[in-house]
Amino acid sequence: MTRQPARRLMVIVPDRLSTLVAKGEVTHRYYNPGELFDEVHLVLVNDDRPDPAAVQPTVGRARLTLHNLPGGHGLFFRTLGWQPWLLKSWLARGLALAREIRPDLVRTHNNFLEGWLAAAIKRELGVPFVSSLHGVWDRDDLETWPRRVRSAFRRKLERATLAAADAVIAVYKPIVRYAKENGARDVRLIYNIVAGWNIERKEGYSLARPPRLITVNRQRKEKDPSNVIRAIRDLDCEYLVVGDGPYHEQLQALAQAEGCAGKVKFIRAIPNEELCRLLKTCDLMVSHCDYWGISKTLIEGALAGLPIVVNEHPVEPIPDYEGGWLLTCDNSPESYGAAIRGLLADDGARARLGEAAWRHAHEHFEPGAMERKVVALYEDVMAGGKGRP
């Protein structure tokens, strides 16, 4: 029997994986859905050196190799804002690495420097690539003037990536518009794959004593739960705030100032498997998010059948929130308070919302289905797009 040659995937990653490992955010087969590839090469566009054993679950049984190709703030300034003629040396190193790896497919997470390199690999070596988008980059990440300046400089990379990509994965609905307006030809809506096999469904909707609320988010301006803390000041409850970020200390100070530090428990990090088991013990998930799409934590909460309360987007409604599977409110203590009190006081409403979340999640976000969609997309791209719509 003739042995099939090993399939190789090259994933260009902007994240510091050691940070994700420290926070417990390790999803099995995240970088190798369906165990499709025999070798997975993660190219980190930074100087991070994570423990390979801790990262191994993200590629399943595949042979994992980690590479560094730093391209952070230093490269941004040295190349005067990623000017193409000044990126030639960096691109040459990336192309040399790709020649060494000989991948069958390249995947990029977002369409900045990572996408620029993937487009060059496709142009020079003929390797197809898929780019996944994790933000609406003409609207997100523009809160400060340095971020707006950086966004202006990277626009050329965003557009070039999307025009060259064989396919683009949008991890929530508003990204589809952004991708198509910036040149993407084949855009697939495939929600983030979360660790659904660890999530157990709530067994009932009787309240804990005291009721347990949970927020799981990066603690920064766009996901600031301050108004939730103010809303529960006079409620008899236990409020778990899971996450870390630049707002962590000020949130602790706010809980103290509001006189509710005894009922608010802050947990900086928790392994994802432990968090998934914890969800079913909570009565409500409450979230604040001003980004243009649905977070992984809401998907996880819905898969557990948790009733969910989240703020309306300050500019326009989020289409992923449609369908009556969660309860939206204004980002104010009064509005959060009314939503939380109403659900805690009504067992039937709480059960109906939790069951609606569970049904919606298993219809739209179920991790196995999302994984199969990515596998089918990879197969399609490697086959030359014969199965494309």
Each residue of 20-79: pLDDT tens digit? 888 878 888 999 999 999 999 999 999 999 999 999 999 999 999 999 999 877 888 889
Cα within 13 Å of Cα(383), Cβ side: 10
Q: Is 184 helix (H, G, I), strand (E, B) or coil?
A: coil
State pTM to two decimals: 0.92
Each residue of 163-177: pLDDT tens digit? 999 999 999 999 999
74 token code pair: 């230093």
Cross-strand pairs, 170: 133, 189
Eight-state DSSP code of residue 66: E
Class (C level, CATH) for 196-364:
alpha beta
318 near 294, Cβ under 8 Å? yes
Domain ranges (residues) in the chain: 8-194+367-382, 196-364
**Does residue 221 have a pLDDT over 60?**
yes
Distance of CA 314 to the CA centre of its chain: 21
Among 151, 173, 139, which residue's Cα sits nearest to residue 314? 139
The pLDDT value given to residue 389? 39
Q: Is 304 helix (H, G, I), strand (E, B) or coil?
A: coil
The pLDDT value given to residue 144? 84
**In sequence order, which residues have a C-beta less than 8 Å from that of residue 267 and are 6 or more positions away?**
240, 241, 242, 243
Each residue of 329-381: pLDDT tens digit? 999 999 999 999 999 999 999 999 999 999 999 999 999 999 999 999 999 99
Average of per-residue pLDDT across 382-387: 69
Query: Does domain 8-194+367-382 fall into CATH 3.40.50.2000?
Result: yes
